Amino acid sequence: MVNVSIIGASGYTGGELIRLLEKHPNVEIDSVTSRQYESQPVYEIHKNLRGSDLLFENLKPSEISSEIVFTATPHGSSMKIIPDLLENGSKVIDLSGDYRFRDFSKYEKYYGLDHTAPLDAVYGLPEIYREEIKKANLIANPGCFPTGAILSSLPLSKSQLIDRIIFDSKTGVSGGGISPSEAFHFPNVSDNVNPYNIVAHRHGPEIQQELQEYSDVKVSFTPHLVPVIRGILTTAHSFPDFSKITSNNDISKDNYISKENTISKDNDIESIVEYIHNLYLKQYDGEPFVKVLDIGEIPKLSSVRGSNFAHIGGFEIDENGRLVIISAIDNLVKGASGQAIHNMNLMCGFKEDEGISHYGMAP
Amino acid sequence: MVNVSIIGASGYTGGELIRLLEKHPNVEIDSVTSRQYESQPVYEIHKNLRGSDLLFENLKPSEISSEIVFTATPHGSSMKIIPDLLENGSKVIDLSGDYRFRDFSKYEKYYGLDHTAPLDAVYGLPEIYREEIKKANLIANPGCFPTGAILSSLPLSKSQLIDRIIFDSKTGVSGGGISPSEAFHFPNVSDNVNPYNIVAHRHGPEIQQELQEYSDVKVSFTPHLVPVIRGILTTAHSFPDFSKITSNNDISKDNYISKENTISKDNDIESIVEYIHNLYLKQYDGEPFVKVLDIGEIPKLSSVRGSNFAHIGGFEIDENGRLVIISAIDNLVKGASGQAIHNMNLMCGFKEDEGISHYGMAP
Amino acid sequence: MVNVSIIGASGYTGGELIRLLEKHPNVEIDSVTSRQYESQPVYEIHKNLRGSDLLFENLKPSEISSEIVFTATPHGSSMKIIPDLLENGSKVIDLSGDYRFRDFSKYEKYYGLDHTAPLDAVYGLPEIYREEIKKANLIANPGCFPTGAILSSLPLSKSQLIDRIIFDSKTGVSGGGISPSEAFHFPNVSDNVNPYNIVAHRHGPEIQQELQEYSDVKVSFTPHLVPVIRGILTTAHSFPDFSKITSNNDISKDNYISKENTISKDNDIESIVEYIHNLYLKQYDGEPFVKVLDIGEIPKLSSVRGSNFAHIGGFEIDENGRLVIISAIDNLVKGASGQAIHNMNLMCGFKEDEGISHYGMAP
Amino acid sequence: MVNVSIIGASGYTGGELIRLLEKHPNVEIDSVTSRQYESQPVYEIHKNLRGSDLLFENLKPSEISSEIVFTATPHGSSMKIIPDLLENGSKVIDLSGDYRFRDFSKYEKYYGLDHTAPLDAVYGLPEIYREEIKKANLIANPGCFPTGAILSSLPLSKSQLIDRIIFDSKTGVSGGGISPSEAFHFPNVSDNVNPYNIVAHRHGPEIQQELQEYSDVKVSFTPHLVPVIRGILTTAHSFPDFSKITSNNDISKDNYISKENTISKDNDIESIVEYIHNLYLKQYDGEPFVKVLDIGEIPKLSSVRGSNFAHIGGFEIDENGRLVIISAIDNLVKGASGQAIHNMNLMCGFKEDEGISHYGMAP
């Protein structure tokens, strides 16, 4: 059993944390905070939570002493409260962008803010940092786009197959948050597709940070708002150097070079596809939340809707040598609150999928 | 622990049953059947169930001996297999329309089919028939529209306040099933509102059957297909005879006439509204899945999406004496598979909300 | 040829006026005004108008001397500028609610504002007030809901068949205007149905004003926001007194009592339906924009999308004597800007459908 | 004045042709054909065309003698009737894929059909083949994706700046046609994004055919079905060789090398962006239907909805040297029927935008 608090619980990721944590068998919620809605029942804001008896409180960090604290606060705000929370002895899972860059100068460049409290944090993608997460006091929960993009391409970077990759992502509108704006006005979104920050979204360098741990891959990223509530579908386009497939990738190493599965340059596309598919199967073998689909099978947002699963599929190569890998996640669950709970489960020694094992909701 | 089978598991309600029953702590799934997809993994059809190791089987009723069998078969098919299932000793929860009418001549009139196996069944709306359900061998799981409509108006009929009521329902497209057709072709549904069977939908007389248990109310019903995947929002329009509110409804009786809360004809609309709201609060007091909202609060499909909750709200009266009550349910959960599991829980003596207690998913 | 100005042209109805008037063969646009966007090209706000060389201007009423002025200003604002425009010699077509009530005390009651400039205006529904419109100096362009509701029920009121009617309307989000708000935030609207002002929308008494010109019909009205961009589908529920059908309605009179088509009480539903359908066919015979569909045919928003047509269908009666009539319009065209242009055509002696004769856009 | 016929008029592109041609001032429609709906009014199928008095006829090619014939028939069918139509003296505008490949072996490869009637045709993209179209007897109206993709990248290929390009396209569902199928079932499309034919869509080599007229650019193409009715938004990702910008592209030549606007390698991204933007401005200068947006401005489907316009925007370069250009068209108008009418206007010597000059419909 662990007691937790959620700071900034009136937004979408806060609502998702309550939705899932209230039913988590090992969790007791101490407090959920919101300055704006102090003393109101949470169900007045998150109307799907009718039945909950939680009330929003307006607490200072010093008044919170839960073992785990989720900070679902905007970037720039998290760094102001996390030092105090850590001081109090809480472990913190931060859903903002404040601790995702290991190089804080990048934070300052891409978020346009001075970082006032640089601290060591573990990037909370369990598929990469499982062991570090178990021991961490501060988790930087990954961005929604990076979660889907990194999972879709990690084996490509590890196997040194690519030097560039383009992520063309399509995101549901809930990624933009609970506050109305022109960009999210129904008549502007419905029956439309809206690319935005087409060459300069903050999540681009975040993806690149993680992929460059294994090889010098240059990441290009463009998000598109589609008329969807939840979900991110990422289409990863790359031109692998198939000649390198001969070089004996060994997936057991970090930047793996396999001993088996060697493919000569002369091999046909089918063998290459199988080889690449195999890299993914091995990479994610045993992962509770990553499902590698069959070759040619296409992930669907509806397959992961509301769930913590990531589906990865596609695995096809066109006549001009372009490889297409596609991933689908729910941006609010695997891309935010569900992954945060996965991190909590790891930190607390719970079953990894406790409280987040439910299937996606389709149709 | 109970072992169950699902017959006809390749459709939407079958998929929902698997989604929820696989995670139900007291349930073991013996078999899920589909002639068309025999031997295929369920996740090839219900792609959200990736991770399940269930396979579709092609079984005859005589080959099934689970304690509980869910028949998610089309109307006309259920009646052909249910007698054998009961014979085998299974208890049956039928999600088709075959056993919803107590008067089988109505079935034949509204479904246009001879009924070849009339049997006693309990109408599986726990809010009305809880005790009968616990002892039943055959449950007629209610229609999706009737579930929302009956819940929205039961206290009105019980209190003899109305002699007519109009249900104007707006339904998501999943209510039409998994098979493509012109009516459900995306370009025909999106950005449209499609009324259908505007005066002759089968669910109209089903609603009337239940409401007429308490008073002679005439039911008019029109469904509209809206560009929504899941959910039914029902707007119930009626012109209550407010003079009857003086007549001391007692909610403890079946057709209740209260002793307190008397309101004279001269009372203002606010008192009448409060009186009516109170009828609902009392009727659904303690119900695990019915939430009576505050006066003036409007139910939202997103508040119940994916959940077994019914939200009831509105409770306003216009200048011309029309009362508006609004209910929202998820047609595939409270309107079908979730309610079927609720019935199973009652039949098996489980906690009523076991396996179906999760909140709705919003946004 | 007529020169026109549009005041308040940065909203949706303003945008539609420009879209249609720029291509109108008999119109020259003098000016389009917006304080907020002064000097900007209209296509920066209405991006579909790329190619237009109009600029927003910030003009006082006294600086406008066009023959026709469209005031696409919010209610409360129109009454402040219209007296000056009329003074200048312009004829005015007002798209706000300021002049729709003939009894200004109703305006004050339902809009909650003092009316500072009560003036005689003609209610701009050409199907009722064609001759008055031709001679008018000030047109109160009808509300979007009233346009669809009145057209769907005018013959019922004229024939004295009903004493109550319920309009359950489903509207696209563009009816709420161009400004973002919580109610129109994509995740709140998509996959949802949102009833609002369920017993107290201003358009209810506006509808009643027009229908009560012919009989003492009480109007109940509830609008629902559906995940649709444009269009209003109105379901009109009523319980006609079929015995009155014997009383020889003569459609040539204003409150018509026909000499032929008498139907006795004993007649079957089919004859009654035909009789009622016939009332509609006669009422709208020769109308350029009202299409009476066949009995049983259901109007679709997609059939009128972007056009000035109103489709009226349904014409069915259920077992309990309820009649269902359904109308579909585009709220921004027939429900606003297109109807305003129709009024202009009448006022200027142009062909009635000049510039607005295009078909709806489907799919 | 020209008389025309439309063969295969019951589908979406046929419906759009009727919608636009009936209001075209220089066109008289001789006949519209459909075997399936022979003798039915067109408005029974295309319900938006209520008011039209056209009936579907079942005519053989030999019975048609219109000056212009539009074949809105499926690929494989067009080639069976076009030779007869040409024989009869008609000029033919074919909306199928049968004549888009100049090398018929490619047709056979990518469409999997023997071509039984290879004939010289002009690829009907007026922005490239205006002069040839004026003199043509047979027009191969371009595919919907190729229209948007080619326009978004023509200047890049002409200026020899790229050797590869990736088109990631998002299309509305109407592109899939009027027939229901699992892929277009509302619950499968709504709230989803569905990539398909991710490395092997026929439109890929069609795009490549046109771009390779100017340089050896390799085209990679992936379409995605989004929950949108109409419209194609194409995101074109490429890595131009900026060093070539020094080489004096002259846009007046076919593969242009400009004399001015030289940019040295050392120039900053802004100058490069301006240079590239300039290539587009010059390329499309005077084009009635192509709008080159400002640098950084993003095209919207709603800006071109229902219209024949193509908007091209983006023009940004990321830190890793990737250029992003985005185009938006309406797949049924500029991507099909509108462009066919543009071709007709050219062939008949009419004003280029006659009958198709209307603005897009927003919101």
Find tokens 């034949």 and name the residue.
Answer: B108
User: Which residues of B are catalytic, by number?
Assistant: 144
Closest-CA residue in chain A for C174?
A187
- For residue D126, pLDDT beyond 90: yes
Strand extents, DSSP E, A172-289: 194-195, 218-225, 232-238
Contact C298 B194 (CB under 8 A): yes
Written as six digits, the tokens of D217 are 């650019």
- Cα D317 to chain center, whole Å? 26
- For residue A128, pLDDT beyond 70: yes
User: Is the minimum CB–CB distance between A316 and chain D shorter than 8 Å?
Assistant: yes
The region, left, alpha or beta by phi > 0 then psi within -120 to 50, assigned to residue C127 is: alpha
For chain A, positions 317-356, list CB contacts with chain D under 8 A. Answer: 317-320, 322, 324, 326
Catalytic annotation present for C144 = yes
D187 → closest Cβ in B187, B191, B229 = B229
d(CA D15, CA D11): 6
Written as six digits, the tokens of A112 are 């346009």
**Predicted local distance difference test score (pLDDT) of residue C97:** 98
d(CA A168, CA A223): 6
Q: In what order do the strands lie in the sheet with D310-317?
A: D194-195, D218-225, D164-171, D232-238, D323-329, D310-317, D290-292
Collapse the DSSP code of C312 into the 3-class scheme (helix H, G, I; strand E, B; otherwise coil) and give the result: strand
For residues C154 and C211, the answer to whether their CB atoms sit within 8 Å is yes
For residues C66 and C87, the answer to whether their CB atoms sit within 8 Å is no
Which residues does chain B have within 8 Å of residue A12's beta carbon, measured at their own beta carbons? 363
- Of A80 and C252, which is predicted with more confidence? A80
Q: Per 3-state DSSP, what percentage of chain B is helix, strand, and coil (rounded to 5)?
A: 35, 20, 45
Nearest CA to CA, how far is B363 from chain A (Å)? 7
- Cα D352 to chain center, whole Å? 16
User: Is the minimum CB–CB distance between A186 and chain C shorter than 8 Å?
Assistant: yes
Contact D220 A322 (CB under 8 A): yes
The amino acid sitting at C290 is: V
- Of C56 and D260, which is predicted with more confidence? C56
Residue C303's pLDDT band (cuts 50, 70, 90) = very high
- For residue C105, pLDDT beyond 70: yes
Tally the C-alpha atoms within 13 A of residue A141's C-alpha that lie toward its C-beta: 30
- Out of A357-361, B173-177, B180-184, D268-272, pick the least confident: D268-272
What is the H or E stretch that residue A109 is in?
helix A104-111
Give the angle A288-A290-A261 at the CA atoms, nearest 5°.
110
Please provide the average confidence, as pLDDT, over all residues in chain C: 94
**Predicted local distance difference test score (pLDDT) of residue C267:** 59
Q: What is the DSSP letter of C138?
A: E
For residues A325 and A115, the answer to whether their CB atoms sit within 8 Å is no
B187 → closest Cβ in C221, C227, C363 = C363
Contact B192 C301 (CB under 8 A): yes
Q: What is the CA radius of gyration of chain B?
A: 20
Nearest CA to CA, how far is C177 from chain D (Å)? 10
State the complex-level ipTM: 0.95
Can you say whether the dihedral through the CA atoms of A266, A220, D208, D258 is positive or negative? Answer: negative
C187 → closest Cβ in B166, B235, B363 = B363
Q: Write the pLDDT tens digit of every residue in A187-240.
A: 999 999 999 999 999 999 999 999 999 999 999 999 999 999 999 999 999 999
**Predicted local distance difference test score (pLDDT) of residue D43:** 98
* A194-195 and A164-171 beta bridge pairing: unpaired
Collapse the DSSP code of C291 into the 3-class scheme (helix H, G, I; strand E, B; otherwise coil) and give the result: strand
Written as six digits, the tokens of D336 are 């099909």
Give CA separation, C235 vs B302, C154, C205, C216, C218, in Å: 24, 14, 17, 20, 16
Helices D338-348 and D12-21 cross at an angle (nearest 10°) of 50
Give the angle C264-C269-C271 at the CA atoms, nearest 5°.
60
Task: List the beta bridge partners of residue D166.
Answer: D220, D237
Which residues does chain C have within 8 Å of residue D230's beta carbon, measured at their own beta carbons? 363
Closest-CA residue in chain B for A305?
B48
Nearest to D87 by CA among D65, D114, D59: D65
* D218-225 and D164-171 beta bridge pairing: parallel
Residue B339's pLDDT band (cuts 50, 70, 90) = very high
For chain D, positions 195-214, list CB contacts with chain A under 8 A. Answer: 195-196, 198-200, 204
- Against chain B, the chains showing at least 3 CB pairs within 8 Å are A, C, D
Burial class (CB in 10 A: 0-12, 13-18, 19+), B259: exposed
User: Is the minimum CB–CB distance between C363 and chain D shorter than 8 Å?
Assistant: yes
Q: Residue B269 contacts by C-beta under 8 Å, 6 or more apart in sequence?
A: B317
Residue C258's pLDDT band (cuts 50, 70, 90) = very low
Q: Write the pLDDT tens digit of every residue in A67-85.
A: 999 999 999 999 999 999 9
Q: What is the DSSP letter of C176?
A: G
**Predicted local distance difference test score (pLDDT) of residue D325:** 98
Residue B255's pLDDT band (cuts 50, 70, 90) = low
Q: Which long-range contacts (CB under 8 A, 24 or more apart) does A349-355 make?
A: A349/A134, A350/A2, A350/A26, A352/A126, A352/A288, A353/A288, A353/A289, A353/A308, A354/A24, A354/A25, A354/A26, A355/A20, A355/A21, A355/A23, A355/A24, A355/A25, A355/A26, A355/A27
Q: Write the pLDDT tens digit of every residue in D246-291.
A: 645 555 555 554 434 444 445 588 889 999 999 999 999 999 999 9
Closest-CA residue in chain B for D173?
B187
d(CA D3, CA D31): 9
For residues D44 and C297, the answer to whether their CB atoms sit within 8 Å is no
**Predicted local distance difference test score (pLDDT) of residue C260:** 43
Catalytic hit among A18, A122, A144, A219? A144
What is the full DSSP assignment across C222-280? EEEE-S-SS-EEEEEEE---GGGGGG--BTTSSS-B-SS----TT--HHHHHHHHHHHH
Q: Residue C252 contacts by C-beta under 8 Å, 6 or more apart in sequence?
A: none
Written as six digits, the tokens of D262 are 């030289």
- Against chain A, the chains showing at least 3 CB pairs within 8 Å are B, C, D
Closest-CA residue in chain A for D189?
A302
Nearest to D326 by CA among D155, D118, D168: D168
The region, left, alpha or beta by phi > 0 then psi within -120 to 50, assigned to residue A261 is: left
The length of chain D, given as a count of residues: 363
Collapse the DSSP code of D275 into the 3-class scheme (helix H, G, I; strand E, B; otherwise coil) and give the result: helix
Burial class (CB in 10 A: 0-12, 13-18, 19+), D104: middle
Query: In B341-359, which positions are buried (b, 16+ CB within 10 angstroms) versus exposed (e)?
Result: bbbbbbbbebebbbbbbbb
* C122-123 and B218-225 beta bridge pairing: unpaired
**Predicted local distance difference test score (pLDDT) of residue B268:** 80
Residue C111 backbone dihedrals phi, psi, to 5 degrees: -100, -10
d(CA D204, CA D218): 10
User: Is the minimum CB–CB distance between C170 and chain B shorter than 8 Å?
Assistant: yes
Q: Is the peptide bond before C61 cis (omega within 30 degrees of 0)?
A: no
d(CA D355, CA D16): 12
**Predicted local distance difference test score (pLDDT) of residue B340:** 99
d(CA C318, CA B166): 11
Written as six digits, the tokens of B213 are 């248990």
* A323-329 and A310-317 beta bridge pairing: antiparallel
Contact D301 A192 (CB under 8 A): yes
d(CA A160, CA B327): 56
Which residues does chain A have within 8 Å of residue D305's beta carbon, measured at their own beta carbons? 191
For residues A185 and C186, the answer to whether their CB atoms sit within 8 Å is yes
Q: What is the DSSP letter of A25?
A: T
- For residue B259, pLDDT beyond 50: no
Find tokens 């053989």 and name the residue.
Answer: D60
For residues B226 and B309, the answer to whether their CB atoms sit within 8 Å is no
**Predicted local distance difference test score (pLDDT) of residue B223:** 98
User: Is the minimum CB–CB distance between A19 and chain B shorter than 8 Å?
Assistant: yes
Instruction: Provide the 10 A C-beta neighbour count for residue D251.
Output: 22
Q: Is the peptide bond before C83 cis (omega within 30 degrees of 0)?
A: no
Burial class (CB in 10 A: 0-12, 13-18, 19+), A12: buried
Find tokens 């595919």 and name the residue.
Answer: D143
**Predicted local distance difference test score (pLDDT) of residue C248:** 52
Closest-CA residue in chain A for B18?
A359
Q: In what order do the strands lie in the sheet with B27-33?
A: B56-57, B27-33, B2-7, B68-71, B91-94, B138-140, B122-123
User: Is the minimum CB–CB distance between B106 and chain C shorter than 8 Å?
Assistant: no
d(CA B170, CA D302): 27
Which residues does chain C have within 8 Å of residue D47's beta carbon, measured at their own beta carbons? 300, 302-303, 362
Average pLDDT over residues C58-84: 97
Please provide the average confidence, as pLDDT, over all residues in chain B: 94
